[in-house]
A = this chain, B = another copy of it.
């Protein structure tokens, strides 16, 4: 076995399938995406890429992100304020909690909320094509008020 990573999508295969050339810059960017545990923006991806191959340009990062987004291989998130941030599209659907102090992104999922969204849209006569649920918050200060654990 020689897949790029365990439980990570095989981007190169996905690309070839779409008739897209596997170039040096793309290889680098794809590997970065594959083992990104976070939600990096284009500039961050570019920095990590330069570390591997100094010849890569920011334009190519942008172009590649757009390409990957179009073929559905990654998701683009436009969180408040900053630039777009990306993540592999492999995982199940989830929404995000953004730590407004650190910028950290925490993933969560609520089947109940998803249902309610559908219900609301239906009542309004709409079909949901996509949605965006983002919670912006800060770590609760360690000061349990009630009988907290």
**Interfacial residues, chain A to chain B (CB-CB below 8 A):** 78, 80, 97, 99-100, 106, 108, 110, 112-113, 116-117, 120-122, 124-140
**Complex: A112 Cα to B128 Cα, angstroms:** 19
Give me the 5 closest cross-chain CB pairs, A-B, nearest first: A126-B137, A128-B137, A132-B134, A131-B135, A130-B136
Would you call A121 and B133 a contact (CB within 8 A)?
A: no
**Complex: A135 Cα to B122 Cα, angstroms:** 11
Given A78-B80, A120-B97, A132-B132: A126 and B110 within 8 A (CB)?
no
Return the contact of A124 from the options B106, B116, B134, B136 (Cβ within 8 A).
B106
Chain B residues in 8 Å Cβ range of A131: 133-136
